[in-house]
C-alpha cells in the first residue's frame, strides 16, 4: 500500500487548489556571501516557487544592494521577486520614486512594511510616512498614475501579519484591526512573522476572519535548525521557542542530527498550518538552501507546474550567433 499523500492528509487541498510556495532572501554583504547566495538561488529556482521576497536592512540600509539583487533575479533567473519596502523615515516623494524604480525594472509585487523605528529614539523626518497602511495607499496611487504603463495591470501588495502580539502593540486584537486597515487600503495578502506553535497561527486566522479580514494569510515558517537563530528570533518576537525543541537541538551530537531534528519540527508546524487552512508556505531561508529543500521534500506540497523552459526563454533571450 502506498503512503498517504498530503492531499489525503489535508482534504481541503486538491490538485485544482495548489499550495503557494515562496522564499525570503536578503542582499549579500560580501563577495563570499554573494557566491553562497547565488548557489542558493539556483537551487531554490529548481522548485519553481511562486515568488521570492527580497528584504534589506533596517532604516533602508543596503536598499541599493537589494535593488541590484532584484534586477539580477529578473534578468538572470525565472524567479519573480517580491520587493520589501519600508516607509519609516521616507517622504511620499522619496517612496514614490523608489516604487517607480521597482516598476521600471519589472517588479510587480511589493511587501509594504512600516520598518523599524530609529533605535536612538529620534523622530522621523517631517512629512515622512509613519505606517504600512500609508505606504499601501501610496503604492495604489502610483499604480493608478502608471496604469497605462502597467497595461492596466495591478501591483500585488503584501503586508505583515502577527500570530503573536507585535512588541509595540497594546493587544492582539489591535494587531488584527491594523491588518484589517491594511486590507481596506488595498493589501492583497499577508505573510506572518515567525511563530513557533501551530495554535498561534490558527488563533490568528480565527480572530482575523471574525474581524472581517478576507485576504490570504500565509504562514512564514523558519527551518528550526539553528539554536542561535531560534534564540535570537524568540527575543525579537517576544515569544519563547518550544523548550523541548530547544533542548533537543542543544543535545544533538552534530550538525546532521540537528538538521534532522529541526527539519522534522518545521515540517510538523507547516503541516499543522496547512491543516488550519493556510493557502501557502513562505520559507525564511536566511540565504541557505539545504534546510529549506529538506523541509520542502518532506512536505510534498501539491503544486502547479509552470513551464520553466518557456519562462527561461523570456528571462534569458538567446543571443544571436
Q: Which of 24, 45, 143, 294 is catalytic?
A: 24
The residue whose grid cell reads 523552459 is 309
Name the DSSP class of 50. Answer: S
Q: Which grid coordinates are listed for 293? A: 529543500
Contacts with 223 (C-beta within 8 Å, 6 or more apart), sequence order:
262, 263, 266, 283, 284, 285, 291, 292, 294, 295
Interstrand relation of 51-54 and 20-25 (parallel, antiparallel or unpaired): parallel
Please give the biggest Cα pair distance in the chain.
67
Cα of 12 vs its chain's centroid, Å:
23
State how far the Cα of 172 lies from the Cα of 175, in Å rounded to an integer. 5
Could you tell me how far CA 203 lies from the centroid of its own chain? Answer: 20
- The end-to-end CA distance of the chain, in Å, is 53
With cell 563577495, the residue in question is 31
Closest listed residue to residue 24, CA positions, set 82, 98, 101, 85: 82
What are residue 111's phi and psi, to 5 degrees?
A: -95, 110
- Residue 24 is among the residues annotated as catalytic for this protein: yes
Three cell numbers written together for 300: 510534498
The torsion defined by the Cα of 67, 71, 72 and 75, in degrees rounded to 10, comes to 180
DSSP per position, 59-106:
GGTTHHHHHHHHHHHHHHSS--EEEEEE-TT--HHHHHHHHHHHHHTT
Q: Comparing C-alpha atoms, which of 225, 218, 205, 217 is closest to residue 267?
A: 225
- Hey, what's the cell of 148? 497605462
Q: Which residues are catalytic?
A: 24
Amino acid at each position: 500500500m502506498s503512503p498517504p499523500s498530503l492531499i489525503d492528509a489535508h482534504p481541503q487541498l486538491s490538485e485544482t487548489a495548489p499550495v503557494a510556495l515562496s522564499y525570503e532572501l536578503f542582499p549579500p554583504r560580501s563577495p563570499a556571501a554573494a557566491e553562497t547566495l547565488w548557489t542558493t538561488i539556483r537551487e531554490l529556482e529548481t522548485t519553481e516557487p511562486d515568488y521570492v521576497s527580497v528584504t534589506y536592512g533596517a532604516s533602508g540600509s543596503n536598499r541599493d544592494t537589494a535593488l541590484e539583487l532584484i534586477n539580477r533575479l529578473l534578468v538572470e533567473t525565472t524567479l519573480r521577486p517580491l520587493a520589501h519596502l519600508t516607509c519609516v523615515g521616507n517622504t511620499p516623494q522619496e517612496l514614490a520614486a523608489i516604487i517607480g524604480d521597482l516598476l521600471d525594472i519589472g517588479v510587480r509585487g511589493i511587501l509594504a512594511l512600516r520598518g523599524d523605528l530609529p533605535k536612538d529614539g529620534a523622530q522621523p523626518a517631517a512629512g515622512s510616512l509613519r505606517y504600512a497602511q500609508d505606504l499601501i495607499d501610496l503604492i495604489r496611487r502610483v499604480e493608478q498614475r502608471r496604469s497605462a504603463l502597467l497595461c492596466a495591470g495591478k501591483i500585488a501588495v503584501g503586508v505583515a501579519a502577527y500570530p503573536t502580539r507585535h512588541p509595540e502593540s497594546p493587544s492582539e486584537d489591535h494587531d488584527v484591526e491594523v491588518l484589517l486597515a491594511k486590507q481596506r487600503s488595498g493589501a492583497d495578502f499577508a505573510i506572518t512573522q515567525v511563530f513557533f506553535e501551530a495554535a498561534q497561527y490558527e488563533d490568528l486566522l480565527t480572530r482575523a476572519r471574525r474581524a472581517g479580514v478576507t485576504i490570504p494569510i500565509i504562514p512564514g515558517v523558519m527551518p528550526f535548525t539553528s539554536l542561535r537563530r531560534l534564540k535570537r528570533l524568540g527575543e525579537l518576537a517576544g515569544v519563547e521557542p518550544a523548550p523541548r525543541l530547544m533542548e533537543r537541538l542543544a543535545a544533538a551530537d552534530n550538525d546532521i542530527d540537528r538538521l534532522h531534528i529541526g527539519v522534522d519540527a518545521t515540517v510538523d508546524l507547516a503541516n499543522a498550518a496547512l491543516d488550519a487552512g493556510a493557502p501557502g508556505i513562505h520559507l525564511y531561508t536566511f540565504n541557505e538552501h539545504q534546510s529549506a529543500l529538506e523541509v520542502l521534500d518532506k512536505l510534498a506540497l501539491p503544486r502547479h507546474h509552470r513551464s520553466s523552459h518557456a519562462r527561461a526563454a523570456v528571462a534569458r533571450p538567446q543571443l544571436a550567433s
